[in-house]
Chains A and B, each alone.
Chain A
Amino acid sequence: MGLDNENPTLFIKIKDREITETDYDDNDVEEIDSREIFDLIKGITDPEHPLSLEELRVVDQSLIEVDDLNNIVKVLFTPTIPHCSMATLIGLSIKVRLLWCLPSRFKISVSITPGTHASEHAINKQLDDKERVAAALENTHLSTVLHNCIATA
């Protein structure tokens, strides 16, 4: 079976977040921001290539919206090609990574950057259906694949 996208474009990774003095201050409460979300998901491995979602620019900090006060995290991701059959799996890996890492108060939405996939509506609906996400995570095969993608994050 051939690859969906045999020759993906590569992008340069961003620099690590600079550590400031307040990072060492336990009394300084910092809100969760888009950079923090980006750092959680940028290292997820693409299911098809040994490359990160950041290197393939599937995820980008500018497409992450966080409203810490209202417990909202919205992530848009961009499949490398408009017919990518892995799009649901990639979306699921981002969603699961955030579900596992963020405090449970957050309502996490992961969807395709508008106009970048042929079946974006159907995929978004599936990623938004908590019952189907819960059932998918109980599927042994799928959860192994997901764990492998997330292991590098």
Chain B
Amino acid sequence: MERLKSLCPLKGHSGIVWNIAWHPKGQILASCGEDKTIRLWNYKDGDKSVLKCLLADGHQRTIRAISWSPCGQNLASASFDATIAIWDNKSGQFECNATLEGHENEVKSVAWSRSGSLLATCSRDKSVWVWEVWEDNEYECAAVLNAHSQDVKKVVWHPFDDILASASYDNNVKLYSEDPSDKEWTCIGTLSSHSSTVWSLAFDKTGNRIVTSSDDKTLKIWQKYLPGNAEGILVKDEKFVYKCVCTISGYHTRPIYDVSWCHLSDLIATACGDNSIRIFKEDELSDHNQPTFSCIVHMNNAHLQDINSIQWNPIIEGILASCSDDGLVKIWKVNSI
């Protein structure tokens, strides 16, 4: 049996806190929200986490999402003001040294590829943009992808390949990659099964599985199949397909706004509109073509309002961060009892 212990709540934001992101080294947590600020918190075990710095004046409206570059030198922020800001601390303190424009309206999500040479953004304008990252804060748009028919909520990169996934209000997830022959980015797959908005998704550490979370109150697990697979799953004209192999339903009572798949422990954590955090673990004898998962933690009233985001610490196993409409950022420790 596991349980969650809350470390000291991080207070400071006014209004909704929309997103959090752990620095790749696991010692800093960034948060952003309705108050148009980004806050960087120094993580310390116990009740000692403190505000390290506050980044303001980068955006005119709500900051919806943030993402650290894999090297940990840059932080990208996506805002309802239709821009993406890039912050770095080359001068000794964090400053906004580039602003990316092009989306027609609210930018909903931003993500760096594993190599750090690509940045993806998505917007209510239904498009997904891929940006090439050059030296000296130069960013060049490499692709505008219009595969979705509605508002795009989230972009996430594969853990080591340059494969991009996006989740949308149109209930689908799309996958993209660059065609090596003509360097064109194209949609290479659609994950279709949810019956409402897909709010978020996460890859497992192998990249062979994806978990998606939706307004339809379910999680779905998708397994990758290559051509000629032993299971006889048809892979038509493509290099691979992701097929839904498990639907986790009956646990969440409201929309699931975020999901995080820990690459250290393989545990899945969810952020839900019912104020709860839940943690799922794959069962020991689970068949990988028909896996089963059990809920090992249900933290009722983890926050006083909707939980918008959740993320496992990438370095320190069993440490989880969450943020909520209640204005708080919380850090949690998973304890076995």
State which of B16, B196, B274 has its C-beta within 8 Å of the C-beta of A134: B16
Interface residues of B in 169-220 (CB under 8 A from A): 169, 196-197, 215
The number of chain A residues touching the other chain, given as a range, is 10 to 19
Given contacts A129-B169, A130-B306, contact A135 B273 (CB under 8 A): no
The number of chain B residues touching the other chain, given as a range, is 20 to 34
CB pair A107 B169 closer than 8 Å: no
Tell me whether chain B's interface is mostly helix, strand or loop, or mixed.
loop
> How far is B225's CA from A147's CA once the two chains are assembled, in angstroms?
53
Q: Mark A121-145, 1 if CB is under 8 A from B, else 0.
A: 0000100111110110010000000
Given contacts A104-B325, A128-B215, contact A138 B306 (CB under 8 A): no
CB pair A125 B254 closer than 8 Å: no
CB neighbours (8 Å) of B13 from chain A are: none
Q: Mark A105-117, 1 if CB is under 8 A from B, else 0.
A: 1010000000000
> How far is B306's CA from A131's CA once the two chains are assembled, in angstroms?
12
CB neighbours (8 Å) of A138 from chain B are: 61-62, 80
Given contacts A135-B80, A135-B106, contact A107 B151 (CB under 8 A): no
CB pair B153 A131 closer than 8 Å: yes
Q: Mark B136-155, 1 if CB is under 8 A from A, else 0.
A: 00000000000000010100
Give the residue name and chain of the B residue nearest to A104 (CB).
Answer: B305
CB neighbours (8 Å) of B305 from chain A are: 104-105
Interface residues of B in 311-326 (CB under 8 A from A): 325-326
> How far is B274's CA from A135's CA once the two chains are assembled, in angstroms?
21
> How far is B256's CA from A135's CA once the two chains are assembled, in angstroms?
19
A138 → chain B, closest Cβ, in Å? 5
B59 → chain A, closest Cβ, in Å? 11
CB neighbours (8 Å) of B88 from chain A are: none
> How far is B107's CA from A131's CA once the two chains are assembled, in angstroms?
11
B169 → chain A, closest Cβ, in Å? 7
CB pair A132 B124 closer than 8 Å: yes
B324 → chain A, closest Cβ, in Å? 11
Q: Mark B68-107, 1 if CB is under 8 A from A, else 0.
A: 0000000000001000000000000000000000000010
Give the residue name and chain of the A residue nearest to B64 (CB).
Answer: A131
Give the residue name and chain of the B residue nearest to A138 (CB).
Answer: B61
Given contacts A129-B169, A131-B153, A135-B124, contact A104 B304 (CB under 8 A): yes
> How far is B64's CA from A125's CA once the two chains are assembled, in angstroms?
20
State which of A105, A130, A131, A135 has its C-beta within 8 Å of the C-beta of B304: A105
CB pair A131 B108 closer than 8 Å: yes
Give chain A's interface residues, CB within 8 Å of chain B: 104-105, 107, 125, 128-132, 134-135, 138
Other A-B pairs beyond A104-B326, A125-B197, A129-B197, 13, CB < 8 Å: A104-B305, A105-B305, A107-B254, A107-B273, A125-B169, A125-B196, A129-B151, A129-B215, A130-B306, A134-B34, A135-B62, A138-B61, A138-B80
Q: List 8 A-B contacts (CB under 8 A).
A: A104-B326, A105-B304, A128-B215, A129-B197, A131-B64, A134-B62, A135-B106, A135-B124
